[in-house]
Structure 1
Amino acid sequence: MFIHDDFLLESTTASKLYHEFAKEQPIIDYHSHLSPKDIAENRQFDNIGAAWLEGEHYKWRAMRAAGVQEKYITGNADNKEKFLQWAETVPKTLRNPLFHWTHLELKRYFDIDDYLNKDSAETIYQATSELLKNNPNFSTNGLLKTMKVKIVCTTDDPIDSLQYHKINNLNNHDIKIYPTWRPDQAIYIEKGEAFVDYIYRLGKSADIKINTFDDLKEALLKRMDHFEEHGCVISDHGFKSLPLGKINERLADNVLKRALNGNTLSDADFADYQSTLMDFLGKEYAQRNWVMQLHLGVIRNNSKRQFLALGADTGFDSISDASQADGIAQLFSTLDENDELPKTIVYNLNPADNYMIATMVGNFQDGSISGKIQMGSRWWFLDQKEGMEMQMNSLSNLGLLSQFVGMLTDSRSFFILP
């Protein structure tokens, strides 16, 4: 039996800590990409192909590396064909955490001990798909309850109506589904026409015509009120690196107006606008007692050909080596000057920056709350044993591991909880 009761527990102490203390604890998943619509509608997956391979860019990257054609990954092949291709890929994933994740999920949810490969694929497909399609314990809510999930924080755009969060919290008393404020599209001014289109839609959602930086702030505040009404207490931002521009609302107003008029902007313009907007948002988070999450160090959509063919979030992103320290220091120090730095979690994607992040967060602990500024858990490409150990070693060597806010899923899948 590969996945046994003491899987990965290599000492008596580890087994005791897990079985006597950790195993029965509920899951508070404070950062995920789960679909609030799927939860509200209590989706029942038709088959394991749909459940496992929709949006799963970890698996997609492995399948491409194994020589699987794109039609079996994001293409028009049916879910069974895609699953069979994944099954043939699994034996090739040894030493990649996908091998362990796959078999953990088969064991924890379906009590299947067999290795997934070409020979076992048909039997496993039929057995799992039958349960997924017909057994209410395998609906989205059933899967969350099986893993003792109590809170899920999704990731949501400011223009989202949050209608599914309202449904969830009216109908679902066992699991609370809260939105997370993710205003990236209002920040990414470098996207040109896409940014201008987004600002129009943001204004429409807030019933405000956005022509100035003050208009933008008013629209964002109205949408933050809407999020707060639905239980939001946490924000999130994704950056290659934090901007290092001038924090000046007059400059930001000028840059925004020029962007809305279709004028060409410089990198300095982008940085001035973004730094000023992040300063405004950080102060507002502190006032509302929201947590600010910062996901730093990704370079996205590296393959232009595949981006044009498949779009974003399809498995063509990488670790960035962009400089991080100065941008973090400027944002944190400016907010901290008037005690307006909110509770913050910094997720680092480049392991070369681990010690810098660990020391940077220590600069802004102020005694008001334990662990106010956090070095967040491993993220994305560091979501494996070595990455977790590097993060915990850096934090424990340079800060207080005892005050660590703990793990999360960052998941797009309802099956990753084991």
Structure 2
Amino acid sequence: MAAFMDKDFLLDTATARHLYHDVAADLPIIDYHSHLQQGEIASRKKFRNVAELWLGGDHYKWRLMRSAGVTEDFITGNRSDEEKFRAFCKVLPHAIGNPIYHWSHLELRRIFGIDLLINEKNAGRIWEEANAKLAPMDTWSLLEQAKVEIACTTDDPADDLLQHQEIAKSALKTRVLPAYRPDKAMRINNPGFVDYLAHLGNVAGARVDSFASLIAALAARVTFFHQQGARISDHAVDVALPVVPATEQQLEALFQKRVAGNLLTDAELGAYVRGILTAMGRVYASHGWSMCLHIGAQRNNNTRMLGTLGADTGYDSISDMSCSAGLASMLDVLDSTDELPKTMLFCLNPNMNDVLSTMIGNFQGGGVTGKLQFGPAWWFNDHKTGNLEQFVTLANHGVLGTSVGMVTDSRSFASYPRHDYYRRLLCRQLGQWVDGGEYPADESALEQIVRDISYENAKRYFAL
């Protein structure tokens, strides 16, 4: 019987152990999609204790605690940090099979060098030892300790990126780059949409009073972001895209309907979102950017808690919406004029894995390795089963060796040991194929695959 999370954790073959320990373990990290706050990096934020580092804003852990019966005052409420930390430690042992159980122990070991089981009995000792080791640390040291070579934040088009400019001039070894996320322009039914148009127009230096002027303003901000080092855009696609695109006149009418104070129907919203994605896809292609589409989140399901805590607090889930026909049509429109940018397709619904992994094969080419990517296991799929299924599905339908690897998608500076988890699973899968006689024991080829997926491919693909 293997010891709990020993040095060969998840590595069940000799090939896997070699690939992980000798190749993957020490590779730098390219974190091409995160929700780290640029201000916390610029200011070299220190965390007052391990509870703030571990639990602050981490809706993964919040959901786990709620499911285990912890009351909200111990999660987002007014209980002390130590009380919240002890509540988490108390319930974590019940989360057998949950990746947070493994991630938390990896974080404890990698960041603090503490090899204790996280439970109620050890909570006090962990609290004291982790806080002592955290005291001299800040966001810079956490990034550098984790060997994060590049970290991309998530930034609104209207952001002035002044803190990014400050970081770029600093001595931080990690390169911190902006990534372009125009959610506020896409979510036309949101209450603040019209006010946002005025703000965007002020920043872009032009009045935004039409769909065409909105696209022009967004394109101008892409140019600005590009000058600051951005090479990636990111879009949440939470509505079904229509198969037949709206005309320019129809998109203009939808824009004016909303400006006049009327909300769009679901069908109209889908048409508007597709219009934004198509227009911006052309802009991204002209700059050589990659467009990431995060598809299939069903957000803010609990309206009571949305009103209490706001968005992104752990009340989202997987949507079962169908997206294939509209998505294919949109990609085809861009491809037909050779304006399809490098594109990554993520879907939160694992039932769509085969759909997306075959979709990317329709639009490959142009001499770009893996121009369309089937994104790694994301959010609710980022666990042992989800990662292994992503490897196998992509291998079945595409070229696994072209994958750009893991995405953290995290708000936490403590999340980087998840890369260790991902790399162990990758080496596990490759080792099983070798042991099963499905791939030769070609060390050179296998080592190159591991280096590429863990590090090299992302650096090349995103032109970072």
2:91 aligned to which of 89, 92, 97: 89
Cα distance between partner residues in 1 of 2:29 and 2:211 = 40
What's the counterpart of residue 409 of structure 1?
Answer: 408
Cα distance between partner residues in 2 of 1:267 and 1:62 = 32
Contact residue 378 and residue 407 of structure 2 kept, 8 A = no
What's the counterpart of residue 309 of structure 1?
Answer: 308
2:113 aligned to which of 111, 118, 124: 111
Cα distance between partner residues in 2 of 1:194 and 1:277 = 18
**Alpha-carbon offset, residue 271 of structure 1:** 2.7
**Alpha-carbon offset, residue 204 of structure 1:** 2.2
What's the counterpart of residue 64 of structure 2?
Answer: 62
Cα deviation code 1:26-69 (max 9, x no counterpart)? 11111111111111111111100100001111110111111111
* Sequence identity (%): 43
CA RMSD in angstroms, aligned pairs only: 1.4
What's the counterpart of residue 209 of structure 1?
Answer: 207
Cα distance between partner residues in 1 of 2:221 and 2:228 = 11
Task: Name which of structure 1's ranges 30-39 and 261-270 shifts more when overlaid on structure 2.
Answer: 261-270
Contact residue 247 and residue 279 of structure 1 kept, 8 A = no
The residue identity in structure 2 corresponding to 1:231 is: G
What's the counterpart of residue 318 of structure 2?
Answer: 319
**Alpha-carbon offset, residue 173 of structure 1:** 4.8
* 1:235 aligned onto 2:233: yes
* 1:51 aligned onto 2:49: no
Instruction: Give structure 1 stretches of 5+ with no counterpart.
Output: none
Q: Quickly say closer, same or farther: Cα 1:242–1:175, change in 2 above 3 A.
A: farther
Instruction: Give structure 2 stretches of 5+ with no counterpart.
Output: 418-464
Cα deviation code 1:214-266 (max 9, x no counterpart)? 22122112211221121000000011245215232221112111211113433
What's the counterpart of residue 2 of structure 1?
Answer: 4
Q: What's the secondary structure of 1:189's corresponding residue?
A: coil
**Alpha-carbon offset, residue 343 of structure 1:** 0.3
Q: What's the secondary structure of 2:408's corresponding residue?
A: coil
The residue identity in structure 2 corresponding to 1:48 is: V
What's the counterpart of residue 378 of structure 1?
Answer: 377
What's the counterpart of residue 353 of structure 1?
Answer: 352
Cα distance between partner residues in 1 of 2:106 and 2:263 = 51
Cα distance between partner residues in 1 of 2:128 and 2:307 = 35
Structure having greater relative contact order (Cα 8 Å, sep ≥ 6): 2
* 1:130 aligned onto 2:128: no
Contact residue 153 and residue 176 of structure 2 kept, 8 A = yes
Q: What's the secondary structure of 2:294's corresponding residue?
A: strand
2:33 aligned to which of 9, 18, 31: 31
Cα distance between partner residues in 2 of 1:367 and 1:394 = 24
What's the counterpart of residue 296 of structure 1?
Answer: 295
Cα distance between partner residues in 1 of 2:306 and 2:248 = 34
Cα distance between partner residues in 2 of 1:318 and 1:340 = 33
The residue identity in structure 2 corresponding to 1:96 is: N
Contact residue 239 and residue 270 of structure 2 kept, 8 A = no
Cα distance between partner residues in 1 of 2:211 and 2:285 = 20
After TM superposition, the score normalised by the length of structure 2 is 0.87
Cα distance between partner residues in 2 of 1:97 and 1:264 = 40
After TM superposition, the score normalised by the length of structure 1 is 0.96
Q: Quickly say closer, same or farther: Cα 1:173–1:58, change in 2 above 3 A.
A: closer
The aligned length equals: 414
What's the counterpart of residue 429 of structure 2?
Answer: none
User: What does 1:255-294 align with in structure 2 at a 5 Å threshold?
Assistant: 255-294=254-293
What's the counterpart of residue 22 of structure 2?
Answer: 20
Q: What's the secondary structure of 1:293's corresponding residue?
A: strand
The residue identity in structure 2 corresponding to 1:33 is: H
Task: Name which of structure 1's ranges 193-202 and 348-357 shifts more when overlaid on structure 2.
Answer: 193-202
